[in-house]
Amino acid sequence: MAGVRIDLTRVEERLAELAALHPLDGLGSCRLALTDDDRAGRDLLITWMGDLGLDVGIDAIGNIVGRWSAGADEPDLPPVMTGSHLDTVATGGRFDGALGVVAGLEVIEALAASGARTRRPVAVAAFTNEEGSRFAPDMMGSLVYVGGLALEVALDTVGIDGARVGHELDRIGYRGARPVPGPAPHAFVELHIEQGPVLEHEGVTIGAVTGVQGISWQELVVTGQSNHAGTTPMALRRDAGHAAVAIAAGVRELVSVVGGRQVGTVGRLHLEPNLVNVVAGRATMTVDLRNIDEAALREAEKRLSELVTEVAATERVEIASRSLARFEPVEFDERIVSLVESTATGRGLTSRRLASGAGHDAQMMARVCPTGMIFVPSRQGISHNPAEFTEPGHLRAGVEVLADVISTLAADPDPGPGRAGAR
Ligand SMILES: [Zn+2]
């Protein structure tokens, strides 16, 4: 049953309503995970789900799942699930994450309005703390949902502001009763903005996402000796700032040596005491390494470790490293990837296959059910930025393809061809 008609205005209005909770310049928005802003976004979602008559459940890590069974001929079957996240980075846009959640609501609303019957129920999820900006690791809610991270460990996680996940969940009233790990859906499909320039550059509307890059996040703490900037001879310094910058430069170099699709970023660097006339005694920094190829990613990690050892010896500083997140590359279900392509073609839309450079909740769901993702273009590839923008026509295309893909999967016989791809 293809050709679901969606209401683009409703989608845009809901995205605007979410963004208006804590607006930033332009179209931007800030909803850091488990803050009052995040709570306000969650409250809106709960209201929308209630208006739609969904069966709403909140689990022990705060994931919100709304299930629509009213149109299902076999309401007790595992649902086809869609969704994404409502949290943003501190300088977020209005589409990253929110689009996937709002689109899921829209698909259900459109199906309900058309009087459509599906075989299976359809569910829409908003996962807790996907961004990882306040609490590491990122994709925390979906990881706990699939049993990849113990609930107690997640609840005990301390954020960059000293807050604890469990405490913040209680504070905003979103520590739910549903147990984790949660039940595996029949399939999971997430609509998301590309957050990269490929689709726009090639003039293609729909990305059929084949998988997600592996991610390795490390935090390095460099300890040297804080001292007077004028009286300390260069040869006697143990300069944590200099060591940190040498590592940052070395990361750029090792990325080019590993080559291929390797990327590397030093995104956070904090010096102490951070004063103009004092040699830094301490530096805290992060290194983000990603690759679609696991062996190459390991090579990059090995080279980083060698670099750190070398810099520590040269500058006579101590460097402690700690893993903040480590995920292997993920391949999505071939049948769903093809289904996204053929659905786009059926709608008269251009499409291409591509791998995701960013992490997504879908990569966690891929551990428990056949999974895929749909990308729509990001203007100039910009995201994690208030300037993030996706054209209305592309939003419409993405939600329509999502609706058709969900309709098709919801009609699957039992156990369903998609099950062949289950891991
Ligand atoms: Zn996202």
For every residue of 391-406, DSSP letters joined together read: -HHHHHHHHHHHHHHH
Q: Are the beta carbons of 151 and 180 closer than 8 angstroms? A: yes
Q: What residues flank ion ligand 1 with Cβ within 5 A?
A: 96-97
Any residues with CB less than 8 A from the CB of 73 and at least 6 apart, and which? 117, 118, 119
Ligand 1: centre distance to CA 315 (Å): 39
Residue bearing tokens 């209401």:
7
- Half-sphere exposure (Cβ direction) of 159: Cα atoms closer than 13 Å: 21
Average pLDDT of the residues in 302-307: 98
Average pLDDT on 99-103 reads 98
Cα of 306 from ligand 1 centre, angstroms:
32
Identify the helix (H) or strand (E) that includes residue 332: none
pLDDT at residue number 123: 98
- What is the pTM for the complete model shown? 0.84
C-alpha distances (whole Å) from 156 to each of 39, 61, 164, 320 are: 19, 11, 6, 22
> What pLDDT, on the 0 to 100 scale, is given for residue 57?
98
Quote the ligand 1 centre to 353 CA distance (angstroms).
19
Give the span between the Cα atoms of 136 and 140, in whole angstroms: 8
Confidence of residue 26 (pLDDT cuts 50, 70, 90): confident
Report how far ligand 1's centroid is from the alpha carbon of 278 (Å).
Answer: 40
**What confidence tier does 222 reach under pLDDT thresholds 50, 70, 90?**
very high
pLDDT for residue 25: 86
Task: Kindly give the distance from the C-alpha atom of residue 85 to the centroid of ligand 1, in angstroms, as a whole number.
Answer: 6
Distance from Cα 63 to the centre of ligand 1, integer Å? 15
* pLDDT of 147 strictly over 90: yes
State in Å: Cα 169 to ligand 1 middle: 20
Is the pLDDT confidence value at 226 over 60?
yes
pLDDT score recorded for residue 416: 54
Predicted confidence (pLDDT) at residue 413 exceeds the cutoff of 90: no
Residues pairing with 282 in the sheet = 223, 272
Say how many Å lie between the CA of residue 403 and the centre of ligand 1.
19
How many A from CA of 195 to the centre of ligand 1? 9
Residue 423 has pLDDT above 60, yes or no: no
276: amino acid identity, one letter? V
Distance 192 CA to ligand 1 centre (A): 7
Q: What are phi and psi of 242, to 5 degrees?
A: -65, -40
| High-pLDDT (> 70) share of the chain, % | 97
35: Cβ–Cβ under 8 A, 6 or more apart, which residues? 134, 168, 172
